[in-house]
């Protein structure tokens, strides 16, 4: 039976971090909004089946059996892929793509997307990040600056709930913070020693999307305080970390203006030559393979970076034979990501009479100190550092009561440090559509051609050199560095391909995330990013989405879209 309601004010493609925000904002502004999710429904609390499991409640105690790992060679590389979380990840065999160069594409197809799985680290960009491409001569100039998004950062931070300290750094601006998590005793020692040795390097507590002290606004959402269980990727029954499922999707639903369609795989966006606008989207039912068209005045494409590129590339018409808005041939190009290859471990002869409790959901961090205020090295941009100090069980041999008693005591202090490096968008890092291979829904498979370059290698080596020197200054011993050599994509921070810019000749989107050449299409997920910064990107996606949705809703009300 054909659907009766196929006409809406707005369509949002995707229900993850940015799609959830688009849905909330558009619905709260009175627009009848259709949210299309290609995966199944996941209802907050109800559909977190392993949320309260003990290890012995699972057949393999949380581990994935080797045959199953072999069946999922890509997704199984993800840190969060376990027996208790695997139901929130795609199956590699069922969702094929073509790796022209090695790329680990981690996906979660369900309501909420990867907002159920993200690492929840949230930092604002600074003015230096938005100015960097123009100053250093890469990518293109951002069409906005920090002042354009400052208030929108505050807006989304208050609703989402971000914990952190007011650190007073212009290189990493403060936000609207809930109380921060506390460093343990050894982390405080390292903080003091590193900052004494390097006055321009700032060791601060990580900022994360966890409700340490919920406000009335959070309690009204039905969310509660974080219990520091660190079982977040199972889905949080307390709603203590921000996800679309616990926060923005229920807010959109509460308005009565949202219609949510699951198992709805968007094949393409339809363009009308006469009106010079998009009229709607063509959707394939994931189960029945039936095709249906939905219409709307505006369309927000928030399918997550690479899928957003895929949809726009596949949205071909007489006007746009190479993909929606792609007159300049740049759609799908200048894909970038974060370099996570650098790791350092060390030991510290710390106080053995002190410990810590709980499972804090964030690490200590250091904002980038390379090339921030000016270009000063032989590589572009820099990297953020995350680290933590822990005490595990001692390595002992033995049996019996004495051994049992001994292993209840913590061992020595160990340090783990990692990098989160900015990569430079390049035209050669791109995605395209296969002419021969299709997915199970008849949509061309995505070809991914993305890799590291000399700049990434130099940045990695600098992290090894500087990280090791900092730990030595702090009194650490047995310092070891290693390169994970992981493929791009495993950082799960892919960005670009539909970048923002001032000039339609060199970019796809304007300052309000509208396609230059089709004004009623908006892109506010990772695909819109002109450069990557070295901060975790999700908070910026949220702020850009809220800003764009505010503008789009006003344009609709004025009859301009």
3-state secondary structure of 38: coil
Residue-number span of the structural domain to which 242 is assigned: 7-121+231-337+427-451+490-557
Q: Buried (b) or exposed (e) across 142-155, using 16+ Cβ within 10 A? A: bbbebebbbebbeb
Q: Does one domain contain both 259 and 112? A: yes
How far is residue 144's CA from residue 122's CA, in Å, rounded to a whole number? 20
Q: Identify whether 385 is part of a domain.
A: yes
Residues 320, 359 within the same domain? no
CA 427 to chain centre: 22
Structural domain count, the chain: 2
Are residues 514 and 456 part of one domain? no
For helices 454-473 and 185-197, give the axis angle rounded to 10 degrees: 110
For residues 54 and 79, membership in a common domain is answered with yes
Share of the chain above pLDDT 70, in %: 100
> Residue 427 in contact with residue 402, Cβ under 8 Å?
no
pLDDT tens digits for range 340-349: 999 999 999 9
33 and 60 co-located in one domain: yes
168 band by pLDDT with thresholds 50, 70 and 90? very high
What confidence category does residue 386 fall into, taking pLDDT thresholds of 50, 70 and 90? Answer: very high
Work out the mean pLDDT of the chain and round it to a whole number.
Answer: 96
**Residue at 186 is within a domain:** yes
**Confidence (pTM):** 0.96
Edge to edge, what strands does the sheet with 430-438 contain? 98-99, 444-449, 430-438, 333-336, 495-497
Asked whether residue 465 falls in the same domain as residue 443, the answer is: no
Q: Which pLDDT belongs to residue 410?
A: 86
| 516 shares a domain with 417 | no
289 lies in a domain?
Answer: yes
Q: Which two tokens stand for residue 490?
A: 């495993």
Query: How confident is the model over 513-527, as a mean pLDDT?
Result: 98
Residue 285's CATH number: 3.50.50.60
* Separation of alpha carbons 260 and 249, rounded Å: 9
Answer yes or no: is pLDDT of 199 > 80: yes
Q: Specify the range with the lowest mean pLDDT, choosing from 98-112, 128-142, 259-273, 396-410.
A: 396-410
Instruction: Return the sign of the alpha-carbon dihedral for residues 294, 298, 303, 308.
Output: positive
Q: What is the C-alpha to C-alpha distance for residues 533 and 132, in angstroms, rounded to an integer?
A: 9
Same domain, 518 and 445: yes
Longest dimension (CA), the chain: 83
Rounded distance, CA 77 to CA 533, Å? 24
Does residue 2 lie in a domain region?
no
Q: Which of 4-13, 282-291, 498-507, 522-531 has the weakest average pLDDT?
A: 4-13
- pLDDT value at residue 404: 81
Phi-psi map region of 194: left, alpha, beta (phi>0 left; psi -120 to 50 alpha) = alpha
Give the model's confidence band at 358: pLDDT under 50 very low, under 70 low, under 90 confident, else very high: confident
Answer yes or no: is pLDDT of 41 > 70: yes
Query: What is d(CA 232, CA 80) in angstroms, rounded to the nearest whole number?
Result: 9
The mean per-residue pLDDT over the stretch 161-183 comes to 97
Locate 294 and state its tokens.
Answer: 């939905």
pLDDT band at 511 (very low <50, low <70, confident <90, very high): very high
Q: Give residue 286's pLDDT.
A: 97
Measured between alpha carbons, how far is 16 from 69 in angstroms, rounded to an integer?
26
Whether residues 407 and 292 fall in one domain:
no
Q: Is 361 within the bounds of a domain?
A: yes
- Average of pLDDT values for 511-525? 98
Q: Is residue 226 part of a domain?
A: no
Q: What is the pLDDT of residues 123-156, one digit of tens each?
A: 999 999 999 999 999 999 999 999 999 999 999 9
Q: What's the mean pLDDT in 60-78?
A: 93
Helices (H), 161-241: 185-197, 216-220
**pLDDT value at position 2?**
60
> What pLDDT sits at residue 403?
81
Residues 193, 199, 201, 205: what is their CA dihedral angle, to the nearest 10 degrees? 60
pLDDT on residue 1: 53
> Are 412 and 316 part of one and the same domain?
no
**One domain for residues 397 and 434:** no
CA 44 from chain centre, in angstroms, equals 20
| pLDDT, mean of residues 88-112 | 97
Mind giving me the DSSP string for 404-425? HHHTTS---EEEEEEEEEE---
Indicate whether 381 belongs to any domain.
yes
Contact 328, 505 (CB under 8 A): yes
**Residue 272 neighbours by CB under 8 Å, 6+ apart:** 278, 279
Nearest Cα residue to 72 out of 57, 87, 51: 87
Evaluate whether residue 54 is within a structural domain: yes
What span, in angstroms and rounded, lies between the C-alpha atoms of 527 and 494? 8
Residue 368 Cα to chain centre, angstroms: 19
Query: Could you say which of 436, 471, 487 is where a domain stops?
Result: 487
Same domain, 503 and 473: no
Cα–Cα distance, 124 to 146 (Å, whole number): 9
The SS3 of residue 258 is: strand
């Amino acid at each position: 039976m054909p659907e009766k309601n196929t006409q809406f004010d707005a369509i949002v493609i995707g229900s993850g971090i940015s799609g959830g925000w688009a849905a909330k904002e558009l619905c709260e502004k009175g627009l009848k909004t259709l949210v299309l999710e290609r995966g199944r429904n996941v209802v907050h609390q109800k559909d977190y089946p392993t949320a309260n499991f003990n290890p012995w409640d699972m057949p393999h105690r949380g581990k994935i059996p080797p045959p199953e790992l072999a069946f999922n060679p890509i997704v199984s590389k993800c840190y969060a892929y376990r027996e208790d979380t695997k139901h929130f990840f795609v199956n590699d065999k069922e969702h094929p793509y073509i790796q022209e160069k090695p790329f680990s594409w981690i996906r979660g197809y369900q309501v909420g997307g990867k907002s159920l799985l993200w690492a929840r680290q949230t930092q604002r960009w600074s003015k230096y990040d938005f100015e960097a491409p123009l100053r250093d001569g890469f990518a293109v100039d951002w069409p906005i600056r920090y002042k354009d998004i400052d208030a929108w950062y505050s807006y989304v931070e208050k609703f989402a709930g971000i914990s952190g300290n007011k650190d007073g750094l212009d290189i990493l601006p403060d936000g609207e913070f809930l109380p921060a998590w506390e460093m343990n005793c050894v982390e405080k020692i390292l903080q003091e020693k590193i900052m004494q040795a390097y006055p321009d390097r700032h060791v601060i507590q990580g900022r994360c999307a966890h409700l340490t002290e919920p406000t009335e606004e959070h309690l009204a959402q039905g969310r509660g305080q974080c219990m520091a269980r660190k079982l977040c990727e199972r889905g949080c029954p307390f709603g203590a970390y921000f996800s679309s499922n616990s926060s923005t999707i229920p807010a959109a639903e509460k308005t009565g203006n949202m219609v949510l369609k699951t198992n709805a795989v968007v094949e393409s966006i339809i363009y009308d030559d006469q009106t010079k606008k998009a009229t709607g989207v063509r959707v394939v039912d994931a189960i029945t393979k039936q095709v249906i068209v939905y219409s709307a005045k505006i369309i927000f494409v928030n399918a997550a970076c690479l899928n957003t590129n895929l949809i726009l590339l596949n949205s071909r018409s007489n006007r746009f034979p190479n993909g929606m808005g792609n007159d300049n041939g740049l759609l799908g190009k200048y894909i970038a990501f974060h370099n996570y290859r650098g790791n350092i471990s060390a030991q510290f002869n710390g106080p053995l009479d002190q410990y810590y409790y709980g499972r804090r959901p964030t690490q200590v961090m250091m904002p980038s100190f390379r090339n921030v205020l000016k270009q000063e090295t032989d590589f572009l941009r820099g990297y953020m550092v995350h680290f933590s100090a822990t005490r595990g069980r001692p390595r002992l041999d033995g049996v019996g009561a004495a051994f049992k008693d001994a292993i209840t005591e913590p061992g020595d202090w160990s340090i783990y440090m990692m990098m989160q490096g900015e990569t430079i968008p390049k035209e050669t890092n791109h995605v395209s559509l296969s002419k021969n291979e299709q997915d199970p829904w008849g949509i061309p498979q995505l070809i991914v051609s993305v890799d590291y370059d000399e700049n990434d290698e130099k940045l990695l080596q600098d992290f090894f050199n500087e990280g090791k020197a900092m730990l030595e200054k702090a009194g650490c011993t047995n310092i070891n560095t290693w390169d994970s050599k992981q493929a791009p994509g495993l950082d799960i921070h892919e960005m670009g391909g539909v970048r923002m810019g001032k000039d339609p000749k060199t970019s796809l989107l304007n300052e309000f995330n509208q396609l230059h050449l089709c004004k009623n299409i908006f892109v506010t997920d990772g695909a819109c990013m002109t450069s990557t910064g070295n901060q975790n990107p999700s908070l910026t996606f949220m702020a850009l989405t809220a800003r764009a949705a505010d503008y789009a809703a006003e344009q609709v009300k004025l009859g301009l879209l």
